[in-house]
Amino acid sequence: MTDMPISTAPKRSLYAQDARTKKRNRAETRFRVYGMAAVITGIIALIVLLTSILGNGLSAFQQTYISYPITLSEDRLDPEGNRDPAEMAAVTTFGYLPVIAMSLQQHLEAEGIDPGMGGRELAAMLSEEAPAQIRAMVLANPELVGTTIDAEILVGGRIDGFFKGRVTMESAERDRNVSPAQLVLAQQLAELGMMETRFNWDFITWPDASGSRPEAAGLGVAIIGSFYMMLVVLALALPIGVAASIYLEEFAPKNRLTDLIEVNISNLAAVPSIVFGILGLAVFINFMNFNQSSPLVGGLVLTLMTLPTIIIATRASLRAVPPSIRQAALGLGASKMQSIFHHVLPLAMPGILTGTIIGLAQALGETAPLLLIGMVAFVREYPDFLSTHSNTFPLMGDGATALPVQVYSWTQRSDPAFVERASGAIIVLLVFLLMMNLIAILLRRRFERRW
């Protein structure tokens, strides 16, 4: 029997930290600090971004209007006196502008207000959309000619900006589109209740306006265009993506061809979106001769861009279903098809729906591919249910736009009021994206099953 050597090493307590333990603890503490700093930095950046967008864009949902009686002079608006809309349509908005300006001047004089300016300067305080509004009202009801109506019309962008803090007396002295005297008069009219700034639903429902009428620009046509394109993406990307995922995950043999397909799907998910725009321009417009800037072409391009995301998310959801589910279904006599569609697919549905909605949300915010297929055009008219160019649905028509493209278009215009409009459009886009993500969460919880 050999005697065991007696250790002469000093005894250490388990509660006493040596140098290595202290070094490891310091490293862990530093990592936690780095992680917390990254989280705080991200939160601060998000707060700054939202503050900037909300600070610049919330005022787009407010608009200033002026209310006063307008005398619709018969000798100017219907010289023949026939009340024929076809004849009255010959009077353009330029003929209506002196009518509303003269009525404003007469009303101010009747109220004992000295405007201190002529009719031309008074007309410059009103929006260029105002004559168009009154003209449309008169053509819809010719009997209004010769009467006095209580009208509410838009003021100009500079006057509207004054009540929103965007235009000041100092800036008006350097601006040829507005004068300090006009701002002083606008303040007097607001105190008398003739001018009022309130919530502007027209920003959501009206179409776009020209560069000289930012106060009349709206998102109505852009929202409809985005809705049409999302319908195309949903109708094509979801069934094609899910079917391709089921085949690749459950039925396709594992060989070099399927490996090549899987690698290319993963690569397509990382391809810049502008490449899909070039592909859509070459295939759908130049080769297939679809109408440029139609919702169908935009939807097809976004479908190509969304398909890899849906396929990857669907395959991951199918792969997450335990193999025991398949084996149990097959053991009870179900066919391969029945086991997939009756058992595997319902269990994978939360992930499939989540991936689909996230893909749609990504497509909703894309701009670059839509610019390449010509969806940056100025669109003033709402699309009809049936296209006026052919007996097809409006998806085949031309002259469509989308929310992100509308934001890009407004940022390119010179009037500073369009910057406010662009920020407001970003808020609307973010609300839609937030709603889509909330729907994804609700659907995931609704269809989630545990095994």
Residue 374, token pair as written in the block: 């010509």
pLDDT in tens, 363-400: 888 888 888 887 776 777 776 543 444 445 556 666 77
What is the 8-class DSSP label of residue 11? Answer: P
For the chain, the straight-line distance linking the first and the last C-alpha, in angstroms and rounded, comes to 59
Which bin fits 230, alpha (ψ -120 to 50), beta or left (φ > 0)? Answer: alpha
Reduced to 3 states (helix: H, G, I; strand: E, B; else coil), residue 418 is helix
pLDDT in tens, 291-338: 877 888 889 999 999 999 999 999 999 998 888 888 888 888 888 888
3 compared with 332, residue with greater pLDDT? 332
Distance CA 77, CA 91 (A): 6
Which of 277, 302, 107, 71 is CA-nearest to residue 189? 107
Residue 264, token pair as written in the block: 């290319």
Residue 360, token pair as written in the block: 């749609």
DSSP letters along 195-230, please? EEEEE-THHHHS----TT-GGG--SHHHHHHHHHHH
Angle, CA 268 vertex, CA 265 and CA 270 arms, to 5°: 120
User: Can you name the residues that pair with 66 across neighbouring β-strands?
Assistant: 153, 195
Residues forming CATH 1.10.3720.10 domain(s) in the chain: 220-447
Residue 73, token pair as written in the block: 């002079």
Angle, CA 165 vertex, CA 160 and CA 171 arms, to 5°: 90
pLDDT in tens, 169-181: 998 888 888 899 9
CATH number for the region 220-447 comes to 1.10.3720.10
Reduced to 3 states (helix: H, G, I; strand: E, B; else coil), residue 62 is strand
Supply the pLDDT for residue 391: 46
pLDDT in tens, 11-28: 666 667 778 888 888 899
The dihedrals phi and psi of 73, each to the nearest 5 degrees, come to -65, 130
Supply the pLDDT for residue 113: 86
Contact predicate 394/383, CB 8 Å: yes
Supply the pLDDT for residue 243: 92
List Cβ neighbours of 429 (8 Å cut-off, separation of 6 or more).
364, 365, 403, 404, 407
Question: Which residue is it, tokens 């009467």?
Answer: 147
List Cβ neighbours of 129 (8 Å cut-off, separation of 6 or more).
153, 154, 209, 213, 215, 216
What is the overall mean pLDDT for the chain? 86
Contact predicate 71/106, CB 8 Å: yes
Distance CA 151, CA 74 (A): 17
